[in-house]
């Protein structure tokens, strides 16, 4: 049961990551030499980015551009890695929280480092999301809430907690919980 749960969780994590990278955010940037104009592109997989728009897409969006493209203007496509990583984290949160809800009540019997780590990371991501939103609301909604910073902080802090608490109590066999009171010395 424990090994089955571990592989189901790890499979769900891989699927969540694949969903995020298959739905990546892209931008088109027009560099004019004195500034940059940005247009959001359609979401697309990392392995098949959306087509690069032409200059007309920028002139229809921004009124202050010349009608013809000067030679020094360059258009590039940029993958928004921060949004993709945030998508991975957001897809991971429900998986990790379900793992925490199922694993932590049973962890005395079914001590498993992978499930322990996934559960703690879920708690860290949920807690960091709450902290990020609270700080953003306290500051009046001004400034970016920095979700990746708080997600990284939550993952790092709870990874340390998971590593230090996983083996804090000795693992016991399932026979101990089935009524066998003979301790192995």
CA angle 144, 147, 148 (to 5 degrees): 120
CA dist 20 and 92 (Å) reads 10
Among 114, 117, 52, 109, smallest CA distance to 79 is for 52
The predicted pLDDT at position 31 comes to 92
The predicted pLDDT at position 50 comes to 94
Domain coordinates in residue numbering, the chain = 2-21+83-171, 26-79
Among 135, 106, 154, smallest CA distance to 6 is for 106
The predicted pLDDT at position 170 comes to 46
Average pLDDT, the chain: 82
SS3 category, 69: coil
CA dist 127 and 164 (Å) reads 19
As given in the structure block, the two tokens for residue 87 are 């998508």
The predicted pLDDT at position 179 comes to 42
- Its pTM stands at 0.71
Low-confidence residues of the chain: pLDDT under 70: 1-2, 143-144, 167-185
E-only strand ranges, the chain: 26-31, 36-40, 74-79
Count of other CB atoms within 10 angstroms of residue 22: 15
């Amino acid at each position: 049961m424990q090994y089955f749960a571990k592989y189901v969780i790890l499979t769900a994590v891989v699927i969540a990551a694949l969903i995020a990278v298959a739905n990546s955010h892209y931008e088109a940037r027009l560099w004019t030499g004195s500034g940059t104009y940005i247009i959001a592109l359609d979401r697309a997989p990392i392995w098949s980015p959306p087509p690069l728009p032409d200059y007309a897409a920028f002139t229809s969006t921004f009124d202050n551009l010349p009608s013809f493209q000067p030679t020094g203007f360059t258009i590039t496509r940029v993958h928004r890695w921060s949004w993709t990583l945030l998508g991975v984290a957001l897809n991971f949160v429900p998986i990790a929280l379900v793992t925490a809800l199922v694993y932590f009540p049973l962890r005395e019997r079914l001590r498993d480092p992978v499930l322990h780590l996934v559960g703690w990371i879920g708690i860290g991501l949920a807690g960091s999301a709450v902290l990020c939103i609270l700080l953003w609301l306290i500051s009046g909604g001004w400034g970016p809430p920095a979700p990746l910073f708080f997600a990284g902080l939550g993952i790092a802090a709870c990874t340390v907690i998971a590593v230090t608490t996983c083996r804090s109590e000795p693992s016991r066999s399932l026979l101990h919980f089935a009524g066998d009171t003979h301790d192995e010395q």
